């Protein structure tokens, strides 16, 4: 408790408070720009922190991480361009709600869920970091395989109503993930001799293409056909009753996000997809998902911000990054003379707790900035399409290029945009492709790695407890719709008799 | 009103012209324009942080604008191909690591060893074979691991970060010297290897001190052997490969190269600037924070000779492992 008080006092010093503010604001801007991601933002900021004290320096980076994770939802909701990969799932319900003229409500919901998820995970981080870090060690290759299978099973329910089309999309996604270096053998696949393809097709250009560019093309079509869209924009925030209606979703997503965040190599993207899918599975009105329901925004947004605190757990307590951004933060800790690991909490107690309190404050700060800004941000939709769409497309191009300074990524993004546009016309959704791409690499490498480690024994997935648990969850999840419909049918048959 | 606007415009143009002409006046003296420094890996990684740390002082030493950017693709293939297309004028630099030398050795780029000149090396992070000491651990020392490997060939699993990488080559070379066969398990990075060693999923991992220092201090991991000649001051109890009679020296190194054929006076000027920048407190602190010694720094001809020595080894190993493009 004393350490927390000291931490609190430290953060309240003007310089430290300011660095939280700068971090959050910068993070929100970086997050809202498609292509500019949190790891990049943190990496760019590190050289500026060389001259700073450890507390403001690390706090600023962590605040940027929190701010960017929330910021991603702003563009996802307003213009269907996920600002960060973790916001991809937010487009499913956030964008339809904004199109209905309730952008303020969508943004408000995203902001409140993000903040609550983030605060939850920071509390877990403060109280249980060393204990929970052990989970990360329990997760070997078989567990990652089982988790990836569980994640991939969501394909059947995410996206369009047709299961076959979703499965086809998922397979395409997994196939795209096969392009590039095969990590197990060290040879490159499907590169057609092109240097650009040797590292594979990165996820972000595909995602920006399928979500943002596709939507720009669709809007252009609507513009050509001169369909008049209702442009009444309401900046109204969600009511207290609406917030209360999603409280179980918030709790569930907080837990999911924190847990996924703890696992090294898995970050907010997987967390938000699972958060969305579980919100849908347990919802009383699953048929409303995809049309702009609040649970569909709360589920993923809460989970991806809960993953920020979760990802900090192994980073600080084990010295093993829990996500792409925390890998960069780990480097920054070293720069400031702190070696993350089991002894960090003993050696640098004051700095550690000050950073945790700073992270807590960062979540509160973007709650304020986000709610206050929701009204202003929603006015973007007042801009006529013929002005807005080209701007979005330019931002997509610039953002994708900035990713690796590689024109090939821009072409991939544009081609994916065209493919996505055509696909939508035939009733395919982007979500299964993106999910297949996110999990494809993990599923392949964790399967092959497990088999190498356990001497080609396929039963290892069923004998290790965590792995078995995820396999069972997958089977139950896949069979659930069949069982419920069978029970319903039997009930009706009985009645008829 | 119109007249004053005209005057302002003329003044601005004149100032612009003056600035231009001063820029032209300095043209014969290197550097007179922006230097583009490319790295092959992403922002925030080890190579990025190394480059940005040196650049902090280099900008002052050379009085030049140095822009560091990522040019990813094919483990440095794209970056090296680009270097070959630029003029040999000292305005294009490449960070150069083991991975890039491997890319050259595999024949995946148009550049070869003789096409680049070494400027300086800034990092030399020795490879260690690390075992778990958590709850007693499975092995006490490297001899026990080797005994197990001799007993059941191919059953001892070693975690490496990617195949055809420095980790893979280090473990392969050590196995060859010790006369045993290891099974290599590729991971995506040091963090994942640490998790796998701690979780007893693999027997041993190839890691750099900076990666496992935290876990070592906490008593969960220890290096069984260091692939260096002399014992490191941070690990006085860890035997080195040389001590145990294995002629293997492997480390993750990072440095900078430019295109061969650059005028010698420019090469020397850049080398001198690197030497001074790496003397500075900022750079020394960086090395210390990452558990690297001052011997990491190697400037000019020494670093060129180092690359010359490594080149045939890497070509041989890549061919042995079947990675050379036919």
Q: Tell me the domain boundaries of chain A.
A: 2-234+241-496
Q: Chains A, B: CB contacts under 8 A, how many?
A: 149
Is B318 exposed, middle or buried (CB count within 10 Å of its CB: 0-12, 13-18, 19+)? Answer: buried
Q: Is B260 an 8 Å CB contact of chain A?
A: no
Residues of A in contact with B66 (CB under 8 A): none
Closest alpha carbon within chain A to B199: A137
Q: Is B201 an 8 Å CB contact of chain A?
A: yes
Query: Bridge-partner residues for B252, per DSSP?
Result: B125
pLDDT of residue A497: 55
Distance from CA of A255 to the nearest CA of B (A): 22
Which tokens belong to A154?
């969501």
ipTM over 0.85? The verdict is no
Q: Between B81, B188, B285, which is nearest A265 by CB? A: B188
A50·B214 Cβ contact <8 A: no
B81·A195 Cβ contact <8 A: yes
Query: Bridge-partner residues for B259, per DSSP?
Result: B116
Closest alpha carbon within chain A to B76: A195
Q: Report the run of H or E that residue A181 belongs to, with start and end.
A: strand A180-181
**DSSP E strands, chain B:** 35-39, 66-70, 92-97, 116-126, 128-132, 157-161, 183-187, 204-207, 221-226, 251-259, 298-299
Three-state DSSP class for residue A337: coil
pLDDT of residue A259: 93
Which tokens belong to B246?
């294995």
B163·A186 Cβ contact <8 A: yes
- Fold of the CATH domain B33-124+252-320: D-Maltodextrin-Binding Protein; domain 2 (3.40.190)
Q: What is the spatial order of strands in the sheet that B92-97 belongs to? A: B66-70, B35-39, B92-97, B251-259, B116-126, B298-299
Closest alpha carbon within chain B to A408: B73
Closest alpha carbon within chain A to B193: A320
* Residue position matching structure tokens 């499913």: A92
A335·B218 Cβ contact <8 A: no
Say if CB A300 and CB A90 are below 8 A apart: yes
Chain B interface disruption, residue of A37, A341, A447, A454, most B CBs within 10 A: A341
Closest alpha carbon within chain B to A201: B73
Region(s) of chain B under CATH 3.40.190.10 = 128-226
Residues of A in contact with B183 (CB under 8 A): 452
Which tokens belong to A315?
């980073």
A40·B44 Cβ contact <8 A: yes
User: DSSP letters along B4-30, please?
Assistant: HHHHHHHHHHHHHHHHHHHHHHTTTSS
Distance from CA of A130 to the nearest CA of B (A): 12
Rounded Cα gap, residues B70 and B95, in angstroms? 10
Q: Is B100 an 8 Å CB contact of chain A?
A: no
pLDDT of residue B21: 47
Of B22-26, B111-115, B160-164, highest mean pLDDT:
B111-115
Q: Is B252 an 8 Å CB contact of chain A?
A: no
pLDDT of residue B310: 92
Closest alpha carbon within chain B to A330: B44
A47·B163 Cβ contact <8 A: no
Q: Could you tell me which residues come within 8 angstroms of residue B19 by beta carbon, excluding any fewer than 6 positions away? A: none
Which tokens belong to A261?
């965040």
Distance from CA of A93 to the nearest CA of B (A): 32
Rounded Cα gap, residues A268 and A31, in angstroms? 13
Three-state DSSP class for residue B204: strand
B186·A449 Cβ contact <8 A: yes
**Residue A344 CA: distances (Å) to CA of A353, A361, A393, A497:** 11, 22, 45, 69
* Residue position matching structure tokens 């060690």: A137
* Dihedral over alpha carbons B293, B296, B299, B300 (to 10 degrees): 150
User: What pLDDT, in 10s, does the model give residues B176-199?
Assistant: 999 999 999 998 888 889 999 999
- Fold of the CATH domain B128-226: D-Maltodextrin-Binding Protein; domain 2 (3.40.190)
CA neighbor of A230 nearest in space, from A105, A99, A377, A385 = A99
B78·A195 Cβ contact <8 A: yes
B49·A331 Cβ contact <8 A: yes
Distance from CA of A327 to the nearest CA of B (A): 8
Is A463 exposed, middle or buried (CB count within 10 Å of its CB: 0-12, 13-18, 19+)? Answer: exposed
Closest alpha carbon within chain A to B158: A453
Residues of B in contact with A198 (CB under 8 A): 73-75, 77, 108
Chain A interface disruption, residue of B48, B57, B74, B106, most A CBs within 10 A: B74
Rounded Cα gap, residues B180 and B151, in angstroms? 9
CA neighbor of A73 nearest in space, from A112, A100, A102 = A112
* Residue position matching structure tokens 């990802």: A311
> How remote is the C-alpha of B247 from its chain's centroid?
22
Distance from CA of A460 to the nearest CA of B (A): 12
* Residue position matching structure tokens 């800790």: A333
The residues of chain A scoring below 70 in pLDDT are: 1, 223-235, 265, 495-497
Which tokens belong to B102?
């491997």
CA neighbor of B248 nearest in space, from B129, B145, B156, B157 = B129
Q: Between B42, B201, B289, which is nearest A337 by CB? A: B289
Rounded Cα gap, residues A370 and B221, in angstroms? 44
A334·B72 Cβ contact <8 A: no
Region(s) of chain B under CATH 3.40.190.150 = 33-124+252-320
Which tokens belong to A472?
């069972």
Closest alpha carbon within chain A to B287: A335
């Amino acid at each position: 408790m004393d350490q927390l008080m000291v931490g609190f006092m430290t953060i309240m010093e003007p310089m430290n408070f300011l660095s939280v503010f700068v971090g959050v604001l910068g993070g929100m801007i970086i997050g809202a720009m498609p292509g500019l991601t949190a790891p990049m933002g943190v990496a760019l900021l590190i050289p500026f922190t060389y001259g700073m004290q450890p507390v403001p320096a690390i706090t600023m980076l962590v605040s940027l991480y929190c701010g960017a994770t929330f910021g991603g939802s702003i563009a996802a909701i307003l213009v269907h361009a996920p600002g960060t990969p973790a916001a991809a799932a937010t487009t499913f319900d956030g964008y339809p709600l904004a199109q209905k003229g309730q952008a303020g409500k969508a943004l408000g919901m995203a902001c409140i869920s993000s903040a609550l998820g983030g605060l939850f995970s920071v509390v877990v981080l403060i109280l249980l970091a060393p204990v929970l870090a052990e989970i990360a060690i329990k997760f070997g290759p078989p567990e990652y395989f089982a988790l990836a299978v569980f994640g991939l099973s969501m394909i059947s329910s995410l996206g369009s109503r047709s299961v076959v089309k979703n499965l086809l999309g998922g397979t395409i996604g997994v196939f795209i993930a096969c392009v590039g270096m095969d990590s197990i053998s060290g040879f490159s696949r499907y590169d057609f001799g092109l240097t650009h393809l040797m590292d594979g097709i990165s996820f972000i250009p595909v995602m920006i293409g399928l979500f943002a560019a596709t939507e720009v093309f669709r809007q252009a079509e609507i513009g050509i056909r001169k369909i008049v869209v209702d442009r009444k924009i309401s900046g109204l925030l969600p009511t207290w009753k609406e917030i209360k209606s999603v409280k179980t979703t918030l709790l569930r997503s907080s837990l999911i996000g924190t847990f996924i965040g703890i696992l090294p190599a898995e970050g907010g993207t997987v967390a938000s997809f699972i958060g969305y899918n579980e919100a849908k599975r347990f919802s009383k009105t699953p048929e409303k998902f995809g049309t702009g329901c609040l649970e569909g925004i709360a589920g993923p947004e809460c989970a991806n911000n809960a993953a920020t605190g979760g990802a900090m757990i192994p980073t600080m307590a084990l010295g093993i990054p829990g996500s792409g951004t925390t890998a960069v933060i780990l480097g920054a800790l070293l720069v400031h003379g702190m070696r993350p690991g089991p002894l960090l909490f003993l050696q640098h107690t004051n700095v550690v707790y000050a950073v945790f309190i700073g992270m807590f404050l960062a979540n509160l700060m973007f709650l304020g900035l986000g709610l206050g800004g929701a009204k202003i941000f929603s006015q973007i939709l007042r801009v006529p399409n013929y002005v807005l769409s080209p701007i979005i497309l330019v931002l997509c191009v610039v953002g994708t290029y900035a990713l690796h300074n590689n024109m090939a990524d821009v072409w991939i993004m544009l081609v994916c945009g065209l493919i996505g546009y055509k696909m939508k016309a035939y009733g395919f959704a982007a979500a299964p492709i993106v999910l297949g791409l996110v999990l494809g690499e993990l599923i392949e490498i964790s399967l092959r790695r497990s088999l190498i480690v356990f001497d080609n024994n396929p039963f290892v997935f069923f004998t290790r407890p965590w792995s078995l648990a995820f396999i069972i969850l997958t089977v139950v999840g896949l069979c659930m719709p069949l069982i419920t419909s069978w029970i319903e049918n039997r009930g009706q048959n009985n009645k008829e008799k | 009103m119109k007249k004053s606007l005209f005057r302002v415009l003329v003044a601005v143009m004149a100032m612009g012209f003056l600035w231009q002409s001063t820029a032209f006046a300095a043209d014969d003296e290197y550097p007179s324009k922006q230097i583009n420094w490319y790295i092959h890996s992403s922002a925030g990684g080890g190579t990025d942080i190394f480059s940005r740390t040196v650049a902090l002082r280099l900008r002052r030493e050379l009085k030049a604008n140095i822009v560091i950017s990522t040019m990813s693709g094919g483990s440095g293939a794209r970056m090296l191909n680009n270097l070959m297309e630029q003029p040999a004028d000292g305005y294009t630099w490449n960070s150069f690591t083991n991975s890039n030398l491997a890319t050259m050795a595999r024949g995946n780029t148009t550049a070869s060893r003789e096409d680049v000149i070494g400027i300086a090396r800034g990092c030399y992070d020795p490879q260690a074979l690390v075992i778990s000491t958590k709850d007693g651990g499975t092995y006490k020392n490297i001899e026990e691991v080797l005994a197990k490997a001799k007993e059941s060939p191919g059953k001892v699993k070693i975690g490496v970060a990617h195949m055809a990488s420095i980790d893979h080559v280090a473990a392969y070379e050590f196995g060859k010297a010790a006369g045993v066969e290891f099974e290599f398990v590729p991971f995506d990075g040091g963090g994942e290897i640490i998790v796998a060693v701690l979780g007893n999923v693999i027997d041993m991992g190839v890691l750099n001190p900076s990666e496992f220092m935290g876990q070592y201090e906490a008593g969960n991991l220890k290096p069984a052997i260091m692939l260096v000649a002399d014992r490191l001051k941070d690990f006085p109890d860890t035997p080195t490969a040389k001590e145990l009679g294995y002629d293997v020296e492997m480390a993750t190194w990072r440095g900078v190269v430019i295109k061969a054929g650059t005028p010698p006076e420019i090469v020397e000027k850049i080398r001198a600037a690197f030497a001074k920048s790496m003397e500075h407190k900022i750079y020394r602190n960086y090395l210390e924070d990452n558990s690297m010694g001052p011997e990491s720094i190697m400037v000019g001809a020494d670093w060129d000779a180092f690359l010359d020595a490594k080149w045939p080894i890497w070509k041989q190993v890549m061919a042995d492992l079947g990675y050379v493009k036919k």
